[in-house]
Amino acid sequence: MLNTVYQLKRPRQFEVVFKEMDLDDRHILVRPTHLSICHADQRYYQGTRPDEVLRAKLPMALIHEAIGSVIYDPSGQFQIGDRVVMIPNLPLEEDPVIAENYLRSSRFRASGMDGFLQEYVQTTADRMILLSDQVNPMVAAFTELVSVSYHALQRWLRTAHARRNETAVWGDGNLGYITALLIHYLCPQTKLYVVGVHEEKLSYFTFADEVLLTSQLKEDFTFDHALECVGGQAAQYAINQMIDYIRPEGTIGLLGVSEEPVPLDTRMILEKGLRIVGSSRSGRSDFEGLMELYQMHPHILSYLENIVGEEFVVRDIKDIRNAFEADIHKLMGKTVMIWDE
């Protein structure tokens, strides 16, 4: 059968490509229904990634945050019409020590291979998670992003020492919001600070104990552990500010993505005995853990609805481009595209 794939040929230019798709007894066919635009997608769309990266990875279909409806399953593990979250990380091997999202052999949708921006997605049962009816599809669309925060926090929790009286999150965007929200439920005993640069965006963080502007931090401000959700050019300032204010032997989790190397104050990292924990993407176990967390704390889903941004019904390339252009100018929230069936 022919599959319609919407590939980014070059920055700001999509094209329709028809690809032959063979049905077999191993792969499940999913029709994407709700697709969330990530900042990583925007770096390709706007052409802000290095030229050599764009040349190596384009053309390809974007989007790695999506849900869909099962339309064909020869294995019988899913019912036709089941709503599922699709996992973009595709491991090619197993390792008893290294998580699937860190294996160098793993592939990732919308990063050197087609993402979910296509009429049908061919995948396997282990790359799908059945969605509960309680999850709003607009929120479910960016499950992958939430799983990234969940994964980072699991690594951070395994590393951070037991004194967790106060925790600070740097970053007032979507990633900061999600990470701070999960901390609120995973570590209910901690006093939660959120540090950012936009008062309007900080107003979204109603669950935090205190929100603070980076320009107005007092000299005696301090905390046990922290997480960085800034990324980009501002990451250097944010991380070094965290290093300045954190207590000795604290743990800093890094989630923000930066294209260029970030200089850090290694002298103070050494003097304070700090632990720096990096994380990237997520794997199946993180999606499963997140779904369990939703069941334990359904209020998380209500808070996540606060960052559902604009919704775009898409039928063609023009609609897709309009959604990406609007997403560039948003202040806060996740832009979600809904396929017009």
Is the domain of 49 the same as that of 88? yes
CA distances from 16 to 49, 66, 83, 116 (A): 23, 19, 26, 14
Asked whether residue 223 is domain-assigned, the answer is yes
Confidence category of residue 180, pLDDT binned at 50, 70, 90: very high
The CATH number of the domain holding residue 174 is 3.40.50.720
Is the domain of 135 the same as that of 154? no
- Rounded Cα–Cα distance for residues 174 and 38 (Å): 10
| 3-class secondary structure, 7 | strand
Average pLDDT score over residue span 136-163: 98
Asked whether residue 11 is domain-assigned, the answer is yes
Is the domain of 6 the same as that of 137? yes
Is the domain of 113 the same as that of 241? no
- pLDDT tens-digit series, residues 7-57: 999 999 999 999 999 999 999 999 999 999 999 999 999 999 999 999 999
Query: How many percent of the chain have pLDDT more than 70?
Result: 100
- Rounded Cα–Cα distance for residues 288 and 18 (Å): 33
Asked whether residue 151 carries a pLDDT value surpassing 80, the answer given is yes
Asked whether residue 284 is domain-assigned, the answer is no
Asked whether residue 287 is domain-assigned, the answer is no
Asked whether residue 341 carries a pLDDT value surpassing 80, the answer given is no
Average pLDDT score over residue span 194-201: 97
| Domain C-terminal end among 278, 299, 319 | 278
Mean pLDDT of the chain: 97
Asked whether residue 221 carries a pLDDT value surpassing 90, the answer given is yes
Average pLDDT score over residue span 226-239: 96
Q: Which residue type does 316 have?
A: D
Is the domain of 190 the same as that of 320? no
Q: List the structure tokens of 239.
A: 């991380």
| Domain C-terminal end among 278, 294, 318 | 278
- pLDDT tens-digit series, residues 63-113: 999 999 999 999 999 999 999 999 999 999 999 999 999 999 999 999 999
Confidence category of residue 119, pLDDT binned at 50, 70, 90: very high
What's the structural domain count of the chain?
A: 2
Is the domain of 168 the same as that of 204? yes
Average pLDDT score over residue span 164-177: 98
pLDDT score at 133: 87
Name the phi and psi angles at 48, rounded to 5.
-90, -5
Range list of H helices, 199-331: 199-202, 235-245, 266-272, 284-296, 299-305, 317-328
Confidence category of residue 134, pLDDT binned at 50, 70, 90: confident
Average pLDDT score over residue span 214-230: 97
CA distances from 249 to 75, 261, 270, 275, 289 (A): 50, 24, 10, 7, 28
Is the domain of 244 the same as that of 314? no
Asked whether residue 286 is domain-assigned, the answer is no
Question: Terminal CA-to-CA distance of the chain, rounded, Å?
Answer: 18
* Of 197, 195, 192, 181, residue with least CA distance to 225: 192
Residue 257 in contact with residue 40, Cβ under 8 Å? yes
- pLDDT tens-digit series, residues 243-277: 999 999 999 999 999 989 999 999 999 999 999 99
Is the domain of 35 the same as that of 55? yes
Q: List the structure tokens of 21.
A: 């798709």
- Which H, E and C letters describe 91-136, residue by residue? CCCCCCCCCHHHCCCCEECCECCCCCCECCEEECHHHEEECCCCCC
Is the domain of 82 the same as that of 176? no
Residue 252's domain comprises 147-278
Confidence category of residue 169, pLDDT binned at 50, 70, 90: very high
Is the domain of 125 the same as that of 156? no
Average pLDDT score over residue span 188-205: 97
Q: Please enumerate in sequence order all residues whose Cβ is within 8 A of that of 69, keeping only pairs 6 or more positions apart, or say none.
A: 30, 31, 33, 81, 82, 83, 84
The CATH number of the domain holding residue 133 is 3.90.180.10
